């Protein structure tokens, strides 16, 4: 039996989530990350206006995409998915000045959230940082990476951007 792409993606996601400790620990990581993003003085202007549940849903989706890539570092489709996801979902934040400095802070909060959940799998943490650093140029170039813009325009799914409740 041939596994569908969706089944393969679900397997990749679940194996990383299992390495974290399961769905409950993954949910804890997401909630810890959301608290950290909303409490950080340098990031507050980007995230504090979002409803906590909306921000949590976005961060959960973001981490699932990142962890799918961390599970298979050589999967070009997953890497493309992550780049398009970042470009589409962070477009408005980039327009508001979210840059590589803010992205680096976000990475540090992701690592701290994993540590809050007692994740001691250093390979998982290292792979996660590697994946996150692979999309850092999007923030360095203020979202102007040509290849990502072209892929974002040609994606069949409509763009879903992270929108503040105060917008």
**pLDDT value at position 102?**
94
**pLDDT value at position 55?**
94
The predicted-structure confidence for 70-125, as pLDDT tens digits, reads as follows: 666 566 766 677 778 787 878 888 888 999 999 999 999 999 999 999 988 898 89
The predicted-structure confidence for 9-62, as pLDDT tens digits, reads as follows: 444 444 778 888 889 999 999 999 999 999 999 999 998 888 999 999 999 998
Under 8 Å CB-to-CB from 124, ≥6 apart: which residues? 16, 19, 20, 70, 114
**pLDDT of 149 above 80:** no
Question: Helices 76-95 and 52-71, interaxial angle, to 10°?
Answer: 150
**pLDDT of 6 above 60:** no
Q: Which of 15, 157, 161 is nearest to 81 (CA)?
A: 157
> How does residue 163 score in pLDDT terms, banded at 50, 70 and 90?
very low
pTM recorded for the entire structure: 0.72
Helices (H), the chain: 5-20, 23-39, 44-47, 52-71, 76-95, 100-116, 122-134, 136-140, 146-154
Q: Which of 158, 152, 140 is nearest to 100 (CA)?
A: 140
Task: Give dist(CA 167, CA 159) in Å, integer.
Answer: 17
**pLDDT of 156 above 50:** no
**pLDDT value at position 73?**
59
**pLDDT value at position 74?**
66
**pLDDT value at position 116?**
92
């Amino acid at each position: 039996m041939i596994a569908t792409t969706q089944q393969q993606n679900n397997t990749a996601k679940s194996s990383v989530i299992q390495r974290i400790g399961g769905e409950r620990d993954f949910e804890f990581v997401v909630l810890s990350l959301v608290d950290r993003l909303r409490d950080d003085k340098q990031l507050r202007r980007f995230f504090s206006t979002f409803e906590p549940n909306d921000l949590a849903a976005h961060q959960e989706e973001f981490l699932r995409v990142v962890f799918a890539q961390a599970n298979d570092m050589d999967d070009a489709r997953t890497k493309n998915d992550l780049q398009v996801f970042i470009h589409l979902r962070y477009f408005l934040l980039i327009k508001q000045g979210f840059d590589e400095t803010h992205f680096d802070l976000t990475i540090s909060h992701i690592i701290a959230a994993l540590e809050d959940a007692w994740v001691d799998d250093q390979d998982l943490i290292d792979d996660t940082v590697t994946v996150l650093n692979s999309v850092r140029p999007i923030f360095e170039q203020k979202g102007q990476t040509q290849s990502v813009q072209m892929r974002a325009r040609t994606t069949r799914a409509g763009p879903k951007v992270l929108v503040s409740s105060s917008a």
